[in-house]
């Protein structure tokens, strides 16, 4: 396993040159197969950086929208 305990499938696209094989739900942390449809949300932080958030279900996405977050642009 690479340094830091991350598996190759968890490495970002820029590091491996390949799309990741798994991602995690922003709300609950459940594993998500990115080859299967799942809800997402987008946001820009205070510095104008684009962020894409993946969710395992519409319920998790809706909960993320309702709850305060540590995400800079959602404070």
Instruction: Encode pLDDT of 18-38 as tens digits.
Output: 665 678 999 999 999 888 999
Q: How many domains does one find in the chain?
A: 1
45 within some domain: yes
Res. 2 pLDDT band, cuts 50 70 90: very low
69 within some domain: yes
Q: What is the mean pLDDT of the chain?
A: 76
Domain that holds residue 30: 18-74
10 within some domain: no
52 within some domain: yes
What does the block give as tokens for 52? 């894409």
With pLDDT > 70 as the criterion, what percentage of the chain qualifies? 63
Q: Is 41 left (phi over 0), alpha (psi -120 to 50) or beta?
A: beta
CB 50 within 8 A of CB 41: no
2 within some domain: no
What does the block give as tokens for 36? 């299967």
pTM (2 d.p.): 0.61
34 within some domain: yes
50 within some domain: yes
pLDDT tops 60 at residue 71: no
pLDDT at 7: 41
1 within some domain: no
Mention every residue, 6+ apart, whose C-beta is less than 8 A from residue 19.
13, 34
């Amino acid at each position: 396993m690479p340094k830091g305990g991350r598996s190759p499938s968890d490495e970002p696209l820029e590091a491996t040159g390949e799309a990741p094989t798994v991602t995690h739900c922003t709300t609950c942390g459940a594993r998500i197969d990115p080859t299967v449809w799942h809800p997402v949300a987008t946001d820009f932080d205070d510095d104008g950086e684009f962020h894409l958030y993946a969710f395992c279900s519409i319920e998790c996405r809706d909960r993320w929208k309702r709850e305060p977050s540590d995400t800079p642009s959602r404070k």
